[in-house]
Amino acid sequence: MIERLVPAKNGYTVYAGDTALHSRYNPRLEAEKYAASLKLENVYRYFILMEPGLDYLGSVLRRQFPRAAVITLHCSAFFADKKLRSLCGGEGEGGSSGLSWNPLCGEGLEAFLERTVTADARTIRLIEWRPSVHAYGKAYLDLAGRTVECVRRINAGAVTVRNFGRRWLKNALRNLPLFLRPVKVRRGTGAVVVCAAGPSLEDSLDLIIRWRASSPSLPVIAVSSAVPALLHRGITPDLVIATDGGGWALFHLYGSFRSDEGGAQFVLTAGLSAALPSQTEKSRVLILCDGTFWQELLLGSRYPFLRLPQRGTVSASALDLALSVSTGNVYLAGLDLTHRDLRTHARPYTFETAMDRSSCRFKPFYSRAFEREGILRSSGSQDIYAAWFKTCLDSFPKRIFTLGGGRDLGIPPCPGIPAPAETEGEPPVFIPFPATGAEPRQGVPVLLEALNDPRLAARLSKELGELLIPGVPVESEGFSDTLRNELLDLRYG
């Protein structure tokens, strides 16, 4: 597609092939009329414009909704030209906000949206610029499809924050005193096996057993829900990762500690906001921080931590962990993101054991398993994460392989044990870090003190507000007092 800039009676227009993206007479008035026809309300925090061309529409929206962020997404690298901004009176590159993406900006579309959009879907409005649909065709539809999928994922994350934010903060405050044996990690150079809890993990266990027999130092990272299946076959993981903040996640860890004499044989890799049992204080712990400001304030210099982004699914976090602790290849097992009939996870599985024990003739096990599988499938979360893997795989290092799975995620397969030359190397080393321990409610004074510091207050208020009083704008009257009261409730509640 060849674009060209053409002067109009009142500004400029762009021709994409034979299609004019803007009026040849008054493109600014055209944008104002289109914005009026949308009948937009002042409830949106984000307007995402799909290929708005020279962004006259974005300029109108910024004037009408000064508190909203207007994001422009372009199909064509033509709009990466900085000269367009001066030619069009500053309206070419996302206006003064600078929230603009194009194929040459050096950042993937998904990464850009995840960085710039933090609200749920109720406060996001996607707006098409109709002439661009005809001008760019498939490229436009691809951009729109990727954007919708990404917004779905961002919305799922925002809904989770809204529902679980308070619990995450409570978990973090409760976990600090449990971190009595924190460790630092020195990166290794060899291969790492990551075990998720999908049904196909059972198919890979024989291969992992043979591999470990020939390479005893091969590190195995397991999500907490996969540990029972590994221990059942005599495989003790080196790292067990837990990031889920829900109380149900404790069931997986209870089983891990009971089967492993207090977790002495593995390093527990725990998110600061994860739901953790009291046995954690006896375990070596590699602490994960998701990069939020409030978590870094709580950990400070008292605890070592590994910074990993929030992914929404512990399987993706386990992959990030593997890439962080070793420079060698990473081999994935049980990463299905789909079910096998009634089987949602590899067996034995903690929840299935609990269901089996509580089953009776009025609630047979298979009926309950069928009901649970239907609920999980209808939630759509696995489809969201699978789409994320497919779209973001290019951003990962080219050293990730799969040992088999129930869903094609675009990860290259490795059907057998790799050659020693491809996998041998030094395993990661976990170094004890002297910890003084923390008082159970020590974390709240740290946050309150930071809120009184003008250099830190704005950023911290925004993050804590999303957790404790979601939906309340930071600039609203009484926000600061309400936030402090909520923190005090956590301290004394």
What averages of pLDDT result for each successive group of 10 residues across the chain (493 residues)? 83 90 91 94 91 90 91 90 62 54 86 82 89 92 90 77 86 92 94 93 93 91 93 92 87 74 74 93 93 92 88 87 94 86 79 72 76 69 71 78 81 82 86 68 85 93 90 85 91 66
Same domain, 460 and 392: no
Q: Report how far residue 404's alpha carbon sits from residue 407's, in angstroms, rounded to the nearest whole number.
A: 9
Reported as a single tens digit per residue, the pLDDT across 102-136 is 988 878 888 888 888 877 777 899 999 999 998 99
Same domain, 449 and 426: no
Q: What pTM was computed for the model?
A: 0.76
Q: Report how far residue 403's alpha carbon sits from residue 332's, in angstroms, rounded to the nearest whole number.
A: 6
Query: Residue-wise over 404-418: b if at least 16 C-beta within 10 A, else e?
Result: bbbbebebeebeebb
Same domain, 150 and 189: no
Sole residue written with tokens 């460790």: 183
Identify whether the C-beta of residue 190 lies closer than 8 Å to the C-beta of residue 427: yes
What token pair was written down for 361? 């003739």
Identify whether the C-beta of residue 336 lies closer than 8 Å to the C-beta of residue 198: yes
Q: Name the E strands within 227-385.
A: 239-242, 267-271, 285-289, 306-307, 330-333
Identify whether the C-beta of residue 189 lies closer than 8 Å to the C-beta of residue 162: no
Q: Report how far residue 159's alpha carbon sits from residue 168's, in angstroms, rounded to the nearest whole number.
A: 13
Same domain, 318 and 370: yes
Domain assignment present for residue 168? The answer is no
Question: How many distinct structural domains can be found in the chain?
Answer: 3
Domain assignment present for residue 163? The answer is no
Q: Report how far residue 12's alpha carbon sits from residue 21's, in angstroms, rounded to the nearest whole number.
A: 10
Same domain, 99 and 19: yes
Identify whether the C-beta of residue 92 lies closer than 8 Å to the C-beta of residue 5: no
Burial of 300 (0-12, 13-18, 19+ CB in 10 A): exposed
Q: Report how far residue 176's alpha carbon sits from residue 158's, in angstroms, rounded to the nearest whole number.
A: 25
161 to each of 216, 285, 300, 310, 463, how far by Cα in Å?
41, 25, 23, 11, 11
Same domain, 240 and 342: yes
Reported as a single tens digit per residue, the pLDDT across 432-461 is 987 655 554 578 999 999 999 999 999 999
Domain edge (last residue) among 394, 413, 432: 432
Q: Report how far residue 21's alpha carbon sits from residue 132's, in angstroms, rounded to the nearest whole number.
A: 6
Same domain, 263 and 319: yes
What token pair was written down for 250? 């404790």
**Structural domain span for residue 281:** 179-432
